[in-house]
A and B are shown apart, each in its own frame.
Chain A
Amino acid sequence: MTEQPAFTAEVFQNQYLPVGGTVVDAVVTVTATGGVPGGGATGGGSPSLAEIIMVDCSGSMANPATKMSEAKRATVAAIDSLRDGVAFAVIAGRTAADMVYPPVAQLTLADGRTRADAKAAVHRLVASGGTAMGRWLDLARSLFDRYQTDVKHAILLTDGRNQHETPEQLATVLRACEGRFLCDSRGVGADWSGTELRTIASALLGTADGLSDPAGLVDDFRAMTQAAMGKAVAEVTLRLWTPAGSTVRFVKQAFPHVEDLTARRVEVNARTGEYPLGAWGAESRDYHVSVAVPAGGTGEELLAARVSLVSGTDVLSQGLVLANWTDDTALSTKINARVAHYTGQAELAAAIQEGLAARDAGDVETATAKLGRAVQLAQESGHSDTAKLLAKVVDVVDAPSGTVRLKQKVEGVDAELANVRSVKTIRVKNT
């Protein structure tokens, strides 16, 4: 017996606009509780899962040797955590993509025997060759395409940059993969690119992260496969209704990481659009919606947006964003704390990414300004993890004013970590 999780939507906004005001901002917190627990037994109606693990087996994985050995241990742990009946495959990523298990290009169902055979095949892996992630993703897509499952999830592990294909080639593959499967991307060692990992995870509705110490891979892989098995609703979309005459300024996921969804809109009708969100388990996410509406008169009340979470024809939960025009400036000048917080978190992510890009391009002035602003925002919002990462890239002279100096010597991986984690956000307490 499977239980559908219970979804709730809570809207945080200041609905009061000054006379002539047109912009309505709201944060919608969507929380799913209950449902299928992660790693639970397969049940009648629980979403079926297909899982593909892409392990970087390029030559650099042998240097140091612990990278390859920890990647193998992590892949084995992920295979062990797959419940019976999950369709899976393991791909070795080099300049081309090679099947590790099963030996032919298809998925196989997890059971005692296939898990043992897959682990044996993983142990035989040898590091050699180059890196062309688009090829790996393309093979994963073709395997998934031939299989009917509710949730299709992949893990991509790399230790380096995508050297053996162009960014355009990767982008083309990502476009072909969008909406076909979900992918979490991970970097191990010191030579991966935060931007590349974010690009892959963003397109495929997953998470991106880096681990400088390969020993952390085992727990991380296990957590990713368990999260994939914990998905209780396979495909969730955010449906946004806005009134006639309005414009959707943006729709962003604001927590657990920043993801601009605006361009992913699929028109349903003149006033309704849908934004794909991927699969949901027992989790909570925040969305920041900004709508420009026609200005109303004092005392008027308008429904500025109806935000629904939809699975197929089911509306899982719904929140209303309102606009009330008032001449009481004490009401209209307040900024909702959550809206302000996530506006700051989005600016923080952009400041880190732009600052690091300027630093790579040798533009010291822009890099110092942007990273200084990032340090200031991280301090103001209490984002201590990001503050710690930034302190490895810049010397902080005075955090409250954002005064920093670029460090002369920076471990390459520290800048990439700051980059890949720039989109991670924290929540403010309920007030």
Chain B
Amino acid sequence: MAGAPCPACGEPLGEGFAFCDACGVELAVAARTAAGAVPSTVDGDGTAPVGSLGRWVAAPGPPDEATCTGCGGTAFGVEGYCDTCGQRRPAGPDHSELDLPGVAVVTDKGRRHKHNEDAAGLAALPGVRAAVVCDGVSSSSRPEAASHAAVDAAVPALVSALRGGGDAGTALRTAARAAQAAATLAGGASPGGNPPSSTFVAAVAHADTVTVAWIGDSRAYWLPVPAGPPAAPATCLTVDDASPGGLLRWLGADARDTEPHLRTFTPAGPGLVLVCSDGLFRYRPDPVELAALATAEVPDPAAAPLALAQALVRFALDQGGQDNVTAAVLPFPPQEP
């Protein structure tokens, strides 16, 4: 198979490689995506403890072989509606919760939207935790196809790059490239004028630093929870790629500038990284208030990251749940169970 082109980026592949060396896409995922199907749950090593190779999980997305809930048809147009009766193609589950040792994420469709177009994934390697959140752009066609494809490609690419002890910045760039390649393929062979699109934000926590990468307006926050010296003050680690007119950068077949922003942050003490979609931070954009909220909900998130992710999503729903909500919690420094 040596020299066969990567289905995502077209570069020649090394023999027996599970990931493309050029773009980082996991080849099994890329092959399925390229064939027109959208990957669903991709689970690394099941529930085994974090071994030397690490583990990763991603929230289940839309089914590969969708059946129309209106008429039972199986043919859908590129915009994601049944060719026969016009019903929208089924999206993935409305709510998902994932946790690995020392990192967790909860995603929910909210109270106003009909589908959950957010996608999320987690990775745990020895001494390293990572989370990826992608928010499907709701004005694009089948946004959940882009967000899930992006996460399903980015998380294994991230794990693969970090596995050999690679630096977080390089690993995140590789993951973002894999996410863009997969989001592009999610549109299929003829993606139409308004192809599936998504934001991208990912965080990697090492023992001494936190590195974040993003494209679009999903965010990563540093929250010193529980508060106490010598913690660094709460801050938003990302800067939205957005103007009052809308999103400036995104992933997808019509995206032009997809190189991620990168930021490395060295916390002065323990705390957590919150990686989230705008469905959460629209209700508490201020980092200090967000930290106060987290502290009030779960005083010791390092021991229970899933409990905090659940509490934050519940908070957004109680505030009205105007949008899909996703909250990933990475306690810092990463702790082995």
Contact = CB atoms under 8 A, between A and B. Distances in A.
Given A244-B71, A320-B79, A324-B114, A303 B88 contact: yes
A300 B77 contact: no
A245 B85 contact: yes
A243 B85 contact: yes
A303 B86 CA distance: 4
A301 interface: yes
Interface string B58-98: 00000000000011000001010110111110000000000
B69 to A, nearest CB: 9
Contact of A302 (B77, B86, B192, B193): B86
Contact of A300 (B84, B87, B193): B87
Contact of A304 (B82, B84, B86): B86
Contacts of A301: 87-88, 114
Interface in B273-302: none
B114 A303 contact: no
Nearest to B69: A300
A246 B282 CA distance: 39
Contacts of A324: 114
A246 B86 CA distance: 10
B84 A243 contact: yes
Given A303-B79, A318-B193, A243 B114 contact: no
A299 interface: yes
A383 interface: no
A306 interface: yes
Interface in A82-110: none
Given A299-B114, A318-B193, A324-B114, A244 B85 contact: yes
A243 B76 CA distance: 12
A324 B113 CA distance: 11
A318 B81 CA distance: 14
A317 B70 CA distance: 27
B116 to A, nearest CB: 13
A293 B87 contact: no
Contacts of B193: 317-318
A210 to B, nearest CB: 41
A317 B71 CA distance: 28
Contacts of B87: 243, 300-303
B49 to A, nearest CB: 41
Interface residues of B, number: 14
Nearest to B79: A320
B86 A293 contact: yes
Nearest to B87: A302
A302 B114 CA distance: 12
Contacts of B86: 242-244, 246, 293, 302-304
Contacts of A299: 114
Q: In this complex, which of A243, A299, A300 has the most chain B Cβ atoms within 10 angstroms of its Cβ?
A: A243
A334 to B, nearest CB: 16
Contacts of B71: 244
A244 B77 CA distance: 14
A242 B86 CA distance: 8
A320 B139 CA distance: 12
A290 to B, nearest CB: 16
B81 A303 contact: yes
Contact of B77 (A245, A306, A317): A306
A304 to B, nearest CB: 6
A302 B85 CA distance: 8
Contacts of B192: 318
Q: In this complex, which of A244, A271, A318 has the most chain B Cβ atoms within 10 angstroms of its Cβ?
A: A244
Interface string A271-302: 10000000000000000000001000001111
A302 B89 CA distance: 10
Nearest to B76: A303
Nearest to A300: B87
A293 B86 CA distance: 10
Q: In this complex, which of B86, B87, B88, B192 has the most chain A Cβ atoms within 10 angstroms of its Cβ?
A: B86
B192 to A, nearest CB: 8
Contacts of A303: 77, 79, 81-82, 86-88
A3 B182 CA distance: 33
Q: In this complex, which of A293, A299, A303, A324 has the most chain B Cβ atoms within 10 angstroms of its Cβ?
A: A303
A207 B4 CA distance: 59
Nearest to A299: B114
Given A244-B71, A318-B193, A324-B114, A302 B79 contact: no
Contacts of A300: 87-88
B203 to A, nearest CB: 33
A346 B2 CA distance: 66
Contacts of B84: 243-244, 271
A85 B71 CA distance: 55
A300 B85 CA distance: 12
Contacts of B82: 243, 303
Contacts of A320: 79, 81
Contacts of A293: 86
B241 to A, nearest CB: 24
A17 B81 CA distance: 18
A245 B86 CA distance: 10
Contacts of A245: 85
A321 B47 CA distance: 45
Contacts of A271: 84
B24 to A, nearest CB: 34
A415 B84 CA distance: 49
A317 B84 CA distance: 21
B91 to A, nearest CB: 10
Contacts of B85: 243-245, 302
Nearest to A293: B86
Nearest to B141: A320
Nearest to A9: B193
A183 to B, nearest CB: 34
Nearest to B73: A244
Q: In this complex, which of A246, A301, A306 has the most chain B Cβ atoms within 10 angstroms of its Cβ?
A: A301
Contacts of A243: 82, 84-87
Nearest to B80: A303
Interface in B231-259: none
Nearest to A8: B193
A214 B163 CA distance: 85
Contacts of A306: 77, 79
A306 B78 CA distance: 12
Nearest to A328: B112
15 contacts: A243-B84, A243-B86, A245-B85, A271-B84, A299-B114, A300-B87, A300-B88, A302-B86, A303-B77, A303-B79, A303-B81, A303-B88, A306-B77, A317-B193, A320-B79
Interface of A: 242-246, 271, 293, 299-304, 306, 317-318, 320, 324
- Top 4 nearest A-B pairs (CB, nearest first) are A243-B86, A303-B81, A303-B86, A301-B88
Given A303-B79, A324-B114, 6 more contacts: A243-B86, A293-B86, A301-B88, A302-B81, A303-B77, A317-B193
